[in-house]
């Protein structure tokens, strides 16, 4: 076991990648320190067990008891390996040509998505990677890993089929929303007013119980809409456009709202934050794709009640003032004037003649503007993909050079940062 443990090396000497594709220094440091601590503690346990085996006490106990103690030690060894594999899935991908750079760029987008204006968040490092699964997921930082131990970084998996389009932001920022909601204790805070709604007399008590059951996913959707606008809803439609049986399925054991109502709720949240006729048009399009009369009569009644209470739910969320926001409401914190649809459209028009200006904007703002242009039919899928591939590569490289600049400047105070020179793709029609 000691011999096998010695073969578990740090990722820094195992994972080849170009520097720009590497995970951030804080993320790599947190992962390596966590895994190194686990290996050291396991090695000490193994050595203590070997030393104990030579004692008189060990010779007096039964073989079954010896086997029991050894088995528990081996299980701990397997936990150390499983923790290694959790991070290996994310880090090994960094060696893939182009993919490594794109994923490193997503790290930058995710870090930006976690920031809210004037909200102090002690953000953990974030590591992204791609999977074949259709849905995104997050293993949140500071949560328990399988077998014990606290996860040192947030690990976000993103569907590979969403690369490279603005739809990737919908999945990515939704998962970031789960991390942000946990850091700000939003889910626990908002349960109290939701339960108060359930105590009101009337026929809607069961409906408010459903909203409370789904509130974690709803808050993550709200976070996503607030950061990337209509790109969030369009990306959600891309994920939940399934056979009717799944779209109309209401399952209170599932933390996700039924897809049919979830898309309409995303439109309602978008319209509440950034009023514009596009949200009503998008909701009408969704209903034309999945007419409610296609659901069972009982489900139709439940959807009607859910839809009737949607505006009240959205207003409750936006008016909510959790203690973590120091008196401000979710609506005040999530609203961004720059992300109003008309402002996003104006931004894309200004960037058409100078695409390089996109590089220096907030990544989530850029994704929101590109998603708005796609929704307006002003940007082709080809231009969208080329532009985002360029931007993700640029952000990955710039993030790496920024770290290098900090190190060089510390050693040589008169050095200057060099802007990465990457040819900018032209925007054909915006």
> Distance (Å, rounded) from C-alpha 250 to C-alpha 267?
19
Please tell me whether residues 360 and 228 are part of one structural domain: no
Confidence of residue 403 (pLDDT cuts 50, 70, 90): low
The larger pLDDT score, comparing residue 402 to residue 18, is at: 18
**Domains in the chain, number:** 3
pLDDT in tens, 188-215: 999 999 999 999 988 889 999 999 999 9
Token representation of residue 308: 């009737």
Summarize the confidence of residues 213-238 as an average pLDDT.
97
Summarize the confidence of residues 371-388 as an average pLDDT.
92
> Distance (Å, rounded) from C-alpha 162 to C-alpha 79?
32
> Distance (Å, rounded) from C-alpha 36 to C-alpha 128?
21
Instruction: State the pLDDT at residue 418.
Output: 46
Lowest-confidence region among 154-168, 303-317, 409-423 = 409-423
Instruction: State the pLDDT at residue 408.
Output: 47
424 contacts: CB under 8 Å, gap ≥ 6: 355, 356, 390
Please tell me whether residues 191 and 329 are part of one structural domain: yes
> Distance (Å, rounded) from C-alpha 87 to C-alpha 241?
31
Query: Please, what is the end-to-end C-alpha distance for the chain in angstroms?
Result: 61
Confidence of residue 165 (pLDDT cuts 50, 70, 90): confident
Cis peptide before 356 (omega within 30 of 0): no
Cβ proximity of 261 and 300 under 8 Å: no
Instruction: State the pLDDT at residue 147.
Output: 84
148 torsion bin: left (phi>0), alpha (psi -120 to 50), beta (else): left
Summarize the confidence of residues 13-34 as an average pLDDT.
84
Domain final residue pick, 270, 301, 335? 335
Please tell me whether residues 88 and 188 are part of one structural domain: no
Token representation of residue 317: 């969320």
Please tell me whether residues 331 and 407 are part of one structural domain: no
- Predicted confidence (pLDDT) at residue 415 exceeds the cutoff of 80: no
Please tell me whether residues 298 and 406 are part of one structural domain: no
- Predicted confidence (pLDDT) at residue 372 exceeds the cutoff of 70: yes
Please tell me whether residues 58 and 108 are part of one structural domain: yes
Please tell me whether residues 315 and 347 are part of one structural domain: no
Please tell me whether residues 7 and 104 are part of one structural domain: yes
Could you list the residue range(s) of the whole structural domain that residue 232 is in?
A: 184-335
Please tell me whether residues 352 and 312 are part of one structural domain: no
| Helix intervals (H) in 92-204 | 99-114, 167-183, 186-198
Domain final residue pick, 300, 335, 370? 335
Radius of gyration of the chain from its Cα atoms, rounded to whole angstroms? 25
Domain final residue pick, 320, 335, 350? 335
Please tell me whether residues 217 and 291 are part of one structural domain: yes
Lowest-confidence region among 180-184, 402-406, 408-412 = 408-412
Q: Is residue 175 part of a domain?
A: no
How long is the chain? Answer: 430
Q: Is residue 244 part of a domain?
A: yes
pLDDT in tens, 146-160: 888 899 999 999 988
- Predicted confidence (pLDDT) at residue 332 exceeds the cutoff of 50: yes
Q: Is residue 170 part of a domain?
A: no
Instruction: Write down the residue that tokens 């590089």 correspond to.
Output: 359
Confidence of residue 166 (pLDDT cuts 50, 70, 90): confident
The larger pLDDT score, comparing residue 15 to residue 186, is at: 186
């Amino acid at each position: 076991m000691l011999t096998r443990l010695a073969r578990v090396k740090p990722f820094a000497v195992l994972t080849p990648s170009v520097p720009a594709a590497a995970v951030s220094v804080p993320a790599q440091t947190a992962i390596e320190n966590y895994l190194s601590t686990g290996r050291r503690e396991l090695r000490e346990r193994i050595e203590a067990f070997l030393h104990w085996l030579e004692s008189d006490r060990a010779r007096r106990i039964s073989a079954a008891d010896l086997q029991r103690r050894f088995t528990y030690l081996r299980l701990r060894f397997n936990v150390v390996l499983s923790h290694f594999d959790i991070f290996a899935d994310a880090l090994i991908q960094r060696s893939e040509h182009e993919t490594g750079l794109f994923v490193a760029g997503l790290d930058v987008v995710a870090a930006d998505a976690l920031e809210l204006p004037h909200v102090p968040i002690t953000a953990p490092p974030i590591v992204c990677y791609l999977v074949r699964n259709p849905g995104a997921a997050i293993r949140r930082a500071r949560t328990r890993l399988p077998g014990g131990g606290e996860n040192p970084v947030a690990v976000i998996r993103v569907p590979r089929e969403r690369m490279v389009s603005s739809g990737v932001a919908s999945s990515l920022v939704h998962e970031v929303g789960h991390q942000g909601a946990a850091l700000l204790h939003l889910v626990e805070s908002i349960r109290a007013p939701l339960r108060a709604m359930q105590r009101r007399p009337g026929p809607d008590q069961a409906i408010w119980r459903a909203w409370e059951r789904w509130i974690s996913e709803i808050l993550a959707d709200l976070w996503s809409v607030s950061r990337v606008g209509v790109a969030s809803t369009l990306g959600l439609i891309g994920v939940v456009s399934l056979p009717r049986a799944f779209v109309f399925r209401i399952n209170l054991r599932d933390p996700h709202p039924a897809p049919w109502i979830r898309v309409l709720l995303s439109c309602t949240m978008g319209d509440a934050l950034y009023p514009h006729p596009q949200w009503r048009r998008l909701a009408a399009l969704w209903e034309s794709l999945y007419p409610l009369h296609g659901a069972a009569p009982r489900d139709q009644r439940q959807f009607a009640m859910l839809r009737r209470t949607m505006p009240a739910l959205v207003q409750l969320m936006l008016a909510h003032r959790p203690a973590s926001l120091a008196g401000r409401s979710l609506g005040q914190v999530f609203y961004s004037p720059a992300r109003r649809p008309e402002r996003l459209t104006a931004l894309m028009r200004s960037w058409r003649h100078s695409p390089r200006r996109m590089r220096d904007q907030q990544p989530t703002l850029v994704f929101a503007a590109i998603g708005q242009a796609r929704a307006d039919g002003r940007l082709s899928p080809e231009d969208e993909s080329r532009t985002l591939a360029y931007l993700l590569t640029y952000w990955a490289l710039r993030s790496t050079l920024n770290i290098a600049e900090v190190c060089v400047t510390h050693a040589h105070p008169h050095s200057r940062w060099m802007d990465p020179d990457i040819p900018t793709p032209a925007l054909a029609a915006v």
